[in-house]
A and B are shown apart, each in its own frame.
Chain A
Amino acid sequence: MRDSGINVLFLGKNFLRLLEGLGVTLRISLIAVLLSLPLGILLGMFMTLKNPVSKAISRIYLEFIRIMPQLVLLFIAYFGVTRMFGWNLSADVSAVIVFTLWGTAEMGDLVRGALISIPRHQYDSAAALGMTKVQTFIHVVVPQTMRRLIPLTINLTTRMIKTTSLVVLIGMTEVLKVGKQIIDANRFEYPTAALWIYGVIFLLYFLACWPISMLAKKLEKRWR
């Protein structure tokens, strides 16, 4: 047994590299989240329209994104688009597009679910009070929908942060890949490094997702 694997963390710029990797993870996922939340809300409203054409379109979109593994979507956006159309998207842009498409689909369905869960009598009561449809939507439906959406949205956001680890396959070095690189580069001198590195990565993911959880808790309290 040679030196403990924890030393690997403090070799050279290893710890800084892990943080940079976390930066890549957060950059991709947060941009995608910020784009998918508004787009998803619009999609969710679009999905509740009682129009056969809009229903078919949103259904096809949702099912396509849901059935395709994100990995396949990433390969299509990064390699497939270049092969088919000759557009050379950078790995960053491909990742943001794919995760936004995915996040929008998921968010859209969450919003749809939350919207149709508002019971019929809420609409009837609002109408009885003389509210117009728009007033009902803004003052009755939206507040209740928002509260229902918070936990679901937080789940989706943290899931998106974690799923971005797939971007290694299109050449981006995010936090998990940096960890693997460090473990591999030291596998002859520090065979036990893996446990420590993965432990630190666990902690980094936790530190990234925890504030989001806390924010959700606060919002839920305020909107009660």
Chain B
Amino acid sequence: MKRKNLFVKLITWSIAALLLAGSLAGCGGNDGSAATFRTLDEIKESGKVVIGVFSDKAPFGYVDENGDYQGYDVYFAERIAKDLGVEVEYVSTAPASRVEYVATGKVDIILANFTVTEERAQQVDFALPYMKVKLGVVSPDNALITDAEQLNGKTLIVVKGTTAETYFEKNYPNVNLQKYDEYADAYNALLDGRGDAFSTDNTEVLAWAIQNPGFTVGIDALGNADTIAPAVQKGNTTLLDWLNDEIAALGEENFFHADYAATLASVYGDAANPDNLVVEGGKVE
């Protein structure tokens, strides 16, 4: 009899706990239809656009000492909000969760150094690109490599699984590749002189060469360009079209060169040519 009482009490408590959890969930749910995207008009009406950016990838998206978002992507995001006539709300995203954020409609636009790939294009809709990444080759000043042909018969350091690895294997079979698992190991190998040069994304080597005197990026744009573009949820055509028009229109005023000057120039200095990184009006030549 006593045990039965206890049992009934427990069941009651469990149900109460479930109800509590349910009501908590109810508080969080906005309108139940949030899995779908917000159209251009809905964003304008709400007075706020939600944009997913990086918060720890200087100089593309980071937070400054006053807690404000800054960087190349953020500069563009501010402009988008201004031209939409709305406030901007930033969501800090991690590389692995970018697709999920757009796919679930938790952000309207992802603007987090998002490289266009076929695999991602099946899950999100990419707008026109606003930046491009090619390969760069960094080498010591006293034996500077300025042309990929110079590498024939020499040792080139690459990181496994990068585009640099596949590019050189395919196009320059006479280059000896020395492969590492981690970026830090590869850079150390270059510093120790275990190879003649190191190749990876040009944005990466350019920033590294500035911090390491004695090394220069002799080739800053090699191979096919990977493009970087904003992404919206699949099927959100009103927002996608608006973004494409916006990017095309911004090309007229060389907006992304101004963006480069404001955010990236201080990091890359004279080492990089902005034309090798910036895409204006969504046109990649």
Binding site for B on A (CB under 8 A): 8, 11-14, 17, 39, 42, 45-46, 49, 51, 75, 78-79, 82-83, 85-90, 92-94, 96-97, 100, 132-134, 168-171, 173, 177, 180-188, 191
Contacts and interface: CB of A to CB of B under 8 A. Distances in A.
Given A88-B35, A93-B25, A93-B27, A13 B67 contact: yes
Given A97-B21, A186-B65, 13 more contacts: A42-B10, A75-B97, A75-B100, A82-B35, A87-B34, A88-B31, A93-B25, A181-B56, A181-B63, A182-B63, A183-B56, A185-B62, A188-B211
Given A184-B56, A188-B211, A191-B211, A88 B24 contact: no
Given A94-B28, A181-B56, A17 B67 contact: yes
15 contacts: A12-B65, A12-B66, A79-B103, A79-B104, A82-B34, A88-B31, A88-B32, A93-B25, A93-B27, A170-B97, A171-B91, A171-B97, A183-B56, A185-B58, A185-B63
Contacts of B105: 82, 88
A79 B63 contact: no
Contact of B100 (A79, A86, A133, A182): A79
Interface residues of B, number: 49
Contacts, number: 126
Interface of B: 2-3, 6-7, 10, 13-14, 17, 21, 24-25, 27-36, 52, 55-58, 62-67, 70, 91-94, 96-97, 100-101, 103-106, 207, 210-211, 267
Nearest to B10: A46
A181 B100 contact: no
A188 B267 contact: yes
A93 B103 contact: no
Contacts of A171: 52, 91-93, 97, 101, 106
B56 A177 contact: yes
For A46, A51, A82, A83, which residue has the most chain B Cβ atoms within 10 angstroms?
A82
